[in-house]
Amino acid sequence: MAKPNYSYEKRQKELAKKAKKEEKLKRKLGKAATAVPQGGEAPAAPDAEKVPS
């Protein structure tokens, strides 16, 4: 009978854990970027600040 490769299983588990953590971080950053600031105002358009008068 073949011996189980525990190091392979551990590596796969670590990779899955890392991918899940990164996905969670992306979702968290996405929510923060789309959230309305505490001041109650919507964020100003970035193009409006760059237009010279």
Q: Which residues contact 42 (CB under 8 A, 6 or more apart)?
A: 36
Tokens 């588990």 belong to 13
Q: Say how many CA atoms lie within 13 Å of 24 toward its Cβ.
A: 6
Residue 43's nearest CA partner among 32, 52, 53, 51 is 32
Task: Tell me the two tokens of residue 8.
Answer: 């392979």
What confidence score (pLDDT) does residue 43 get?
58
CA atoms of 11 and 17, how far apart (whole Å) = 10
pTM over 0.75: no
> 3-48, pLDDT tens digit by residue?
989 999 999 999 999 999 999 999 999 888 776 556 655 556 666 5
